[in-house]
Structure 1
């Protein structure tokens, strides 16, 4: 961060703000207006803005991304329309993970205990094979374990364990994620 007092100035450097301005223009012209099936095109644009993007990634055109250089997208992950990746801090989405429509991953907050209200960024990590269902909110600094399912509209304020179904406000683990006989965690 550039400034720890958000009352007197911007939290990010001029270079960062210019980069986000250039990204905003590229996003509106080349990313958002691209046809839905053009996943490789959008992956290429993200790579041009220093995102780490794996093979076979499906990022839809109406995903909102604050700073692509803070993103790491694993192989075969999918990010639906209307997802918000508020990547003030790092966001890592694992292999074959799915982020459903309207989910919000927020890697920045403010320290309300200080009068200067400084920005605080904390990384978000979404494990391989995890599913963040529609309109869930993931707080800064949260890790979602491998294979974990976060229910629709859940608010996740702390780490969630691997291979569990978790839901609620606040989100809590409910039960093991079980597979039918055709697919099991060991076969993934």
Structure 2
């Protein structure tokens, strides 16, 4: 009887310990990447109609005449011919307004881990930045940010939705 009581107490304590410490796999303690800096003086938040760079209203309005979204293949940051054509329009626009500053936001679909998607979004934004810089746009006029999977447009689970979220968006 005494052995049974000790066994019961030990079982209850073991179960309580397992419940309080959690049974799920814990994430490694890694540093977090800031994907949407807030509180930049004078800047609106991207995604709410503004951007994280400052331009005159005239620049913002003029930028609406230029295509501003480039798309990527699955798990890729390589620019295809269509993306390069859009970026060439951006180069011409930036050359015509030397004071304009541009924000390049990298996005991914929701497949993959958050950390991987943040890194892939950053590679996409950086590929666009590198292309613009290679065409003569000075890098002090270009900011990049990665939203990873955090800002989907459209929201959905079809391959078409995924394809539309594999993008980099240039905003003024």
Question: Do both proteins adopt the same fold according to a TM-score greater than 0.5, normalized to the shorter chain?
Answer: no
* Structure with bigger RCO (C-alpha 8 Å, 6+ apart): 2
Greater share of residues in helix: 2
Larger Rg: 2
TM-score by length of 1: 0.22
More strand, by proportion: 1
TM-score (norm 2): 0.23
